[in-house]
Amino acid sequence: MIEDKYISDIVKNIPPSGIRKFFDLVTNSRDIISLGVGEPDFVTPWTIRKEGIDVLDRGTTTYTSNLGLFELRKAISFFLKNHYDLDYNPEREIMITVGASEAIDLALRCLLNNGDEVLVPVPSYVSYAPCIELTRGVPVYVPTEEKNNFIITPADLKSKITNKTKALILPYPNNPTGAIMKKEDLEAIKDIIIEHDLIVISDEIYSELTYDGKHVSIASLPGMKERTILLNGFSKAFAMTGWRLGYIAAEHGFIEAMNKIHQYTTICAPIMAQYAGIKAIYECEEDIEKMRKTYDQRRRFIVNGFREIGFDCFEPKGAFYIFPSIKKTGLTSQEFCERLLKEEKIAVVPGDAFGPGGDGYIRVSYAYSIDKIMKALERIERFAKKIF
């Protein structure tokens, strides 16, 4: 390809996402039952959709301030206080982004100089390492293990810190493992973070989908707010993926720095989504509760289903994925997923797409109805009988 010689080395050197590869394979197959999706099966609650329509009806189609509508920032401040007992000033410490995805990018770009190291627990969401590399930082993987419930332990953390380590990404509740870090788990690593003067980029996009007690943000621990950049958004909790609405809560200095990037690269999140977000926070608590409960029912059902078939399956406490081990089949994750797709027409995602340590696992989403999960389990069982 002639264009190749023009494309920057940094972009050329970023490997394509492991999910992308699998996606191409899936697109060419028919009659598939997919358990491979990373977004809710619910449609955005009606109240929120209606607000989007009304905003357009009123002809409100302009930019907003770079930080985002003040009313929305106020709503988020209220939400963070109400749900996680966090205090963020809506005028100075909150900004609205285009999904939590933009927030990840902004946080990294605001922090990293050439060669700065960022700790990335794995398995985890696919974007962290590439975004770090695009910023000319260096991702340093911190493998988490099933025997530790896929959380970061103080020992894991210490072993990876060098004098170049600047930040730690904390992706809990976790995609793909479904692991959460409870208050005591966070307290256990807090002193190391402070001692080594690290900044935490806490990606809490699945915070509302926590099934074992309430989500605790590391920013709520004493001494941590000032060194935490908290990322969250509306996609998962309110089933608003397509609206692209996220936010960052952090100390004013960080917000100012990130807003500098945001104003030149993005300007603002879409105004319709921002108004809809205000409605979501003030009027849709019940919808969140209902969706969480439905996910929780499916979670119990699918974990049990995999275990009965004979898989070792870690019990997830958050998000909407299970991460069963396929080690005893002797197949790699890729082989397992390709065969499951070909032989039984079930799409799940190979664990190695989520970084080192993910091989030997598959990510199965339960953002599907129990009926669909039941049908899928029948096929998976038939497949398992062949390979166990």
Which of 32, 188, 192, 387 touches other proteins by CB under 8 A? 32
Asked if 23 interacts with other proteins (CB under 8 A), we say yes
Nearer residue to other proteins within complex by CB, 263 or 369: 369
Q: Which stretch binds other proteins (CB under 8 A): 78-86, 104-112, 190-198, 347-355?
A: 347-355
Asked if 104 interacts with other proteins (CB under 8 A), we say no
Nearest CA to 83 out of 320, 234, 259, 281 is that of 281
**Nearest distance from C-beta of residue 140 to other proteins, angstroms:** 21
Asked if 134 interacts with other proteins (CB under 8 A), we say no
Our CA dihedral for 46, 52, 55, 57, rounded to 10 degrees, sits at -80
Q: Tell me if 139 sits within 8 A of 132, measured CB to CB.
A: yes
Identity of the amino acid at 86:
L
Task: Name the region of 230 (left: φ>0; alpha: ψ -120 to 50; beta: rest).
Answer: beta
Identity of the amino acid at 367:
A
Q: How far apart are CA 239 and CA 40, in angstroms?
A: 6
**Nearest distance from C-beta of residue 126 to other proteins, angstroms:** 5
Site for other proteins in 245-264 (CB under 8 A): none
Query: DSSP letters along 74-141, please?
Result: HHHHHHHHHHH-----TTTSEEEESHHHHHHHHHHHHHPPTT-EEEEEES--TTHHHHHHHTT-EEEE
**Nearest distance from C-beta of residue 211 to other proteins, angstroms:** 10
Which residues have CB under 8 Å from 289's CB, separation 6+? Answer: none
Asked if 381 interacts with other proteins (CB under 8 A), we say no
SS3 of 313, please?
strand
Asked if 141 interacts with other proteins (CB under 8 A), we say no
Which of 326, 349, 362, 384 touches other proteins by CB under 8 A? 349
Nearer residue to other proteins within complex by CB, 41 or 378: 41
Nearer residue to other proteins within complex by CB, 34 or 266: 34
Site string for other proteins, 288-317 (x = CB under 8 A): -----x---xx-xx--x-------------
Q: How far apart are CA 200 and CA 251, in angstroms?
A: 12
Identity of the amino acid at 263:
Q
Asked if 31 interacts with other proteins (CB under 8 A), we say no
Site for other proteins in 35-74 (CB under 8 A): 36-39, 41
The binding site for other proteins (CB under 8 A) comprises 17, 19, 22-23, 26-27, 32, 34, 36-39, 41, 125-127, 175, 293, 297-298, 300-301, 304, 347, 349, 353, 370-371
